[in-house]
Amino acid sequence: MMSTQADVTTPQFQLIWGHLRNLIDFEKVVVPGSIRLVGTICGEFPVDAYTPIFLEIAKEHRREDLSGRFNCPGSTAGQVLYDNYWHPIRTIPLPLFNDEPDLTIQELREGYSQLLKEWHNSRIPENLPCAAVSLKFHGNYCEEREAQKITVLLIYPNCTARLLYLDFFEGALEDCISPEWYLSVSMLKSIYTAIEEFREIPANQFDLQHTWSSIFIKPNFLGDILIRGKRIETSLRKWGFEWKYGSYYDLSLDLRNLLDELQDFFTK
């Protein structure tokens, strides 16, 4: 059945997401193979922040949040602006897979490949990506202020994909500016074009001090190819696991191998 996450942020979201949950019973989605899709969760960027920033198809494919600039004791103007601007109907779901622990890595891959072949013949919603990869860079950008740059690659079984970009900046403490962030969303494009663009992201990052980087992936079992990263189990924004890197070289090698493998699933 569908996942029932309790960490939603607004009553409106609970109402709308509840209606969406009733559209499909995943126990009745019969797909041959050893990997089973058991539900969905509301997609979020794996950002270190007090409140979630959702994966969403923003209006005009761009959005920014500066509501913290208006927050001060006795004022709710900033939060009102944020709540009115965001709408849950644009939120992108992420898949939940049943990664059975008694299966070998090869069996998991074979089951996932079979799932992709049968995806179109099932009752799985068309807006649900079959894979998601998030690439995150974290460091200081000015006077020990933190910045996070995150890109999420969403892949659909019809060989299309979409890229979502989030730039998150910590504000200056002395003038009480809260973090601000900027979101942009690409149009749907071919999986091959999106993967090639995603592959070039590490080389095009701006300079940060004390930088470290991370990869997140769904389904999690595909992360076994990330042999150079430090694997950490995390509940951060529902991604499950994080692979951390201190070396640009190690990150680039693992990312290349991961993207090559993902592309192979759609060319076999």
CA distance 237 to 56: 14
Give the residue-averaged pLDDT of 14-24: 41
- Which amino acid belongs to residue 103? L
Give me the pLDDT at residue 257, please. 95
CA distance 266 to 268: 6
Give me the pLDDT at residue 14, please. 40
63 touches 85 (CB < 8 A): yes
Question: What percentage of the chain exceeds 90 in pLDDT?
Answer: 33
pTM of the full structure:
0.82
Pick the range with the lowest mean pLDDT from 45-49, 140-144, 186-190. 140-144
- Per domain, the residue ranges of the chain are 11-265
pLDDT tens readout for residues 134-155:
999 987 777 677 888 999 999 9
> How far are the Cα atoms of 113, 168, 175, 179, 228 from residue 183, in angstroms, in the given order?
32, 9, 24, 13, 29
Q: Which residues make Cβ contacts (< 8 Å) with residue 11, sequence separation at least 6?
A: none
Indicate if the pLDDT at residue 22 is higher than 50: no
CA 5 centroid distance within chain: 16
Give me the pLDDT at residue 19, please. 37
Give the residue-averaged pLDDT of 104-108: 85
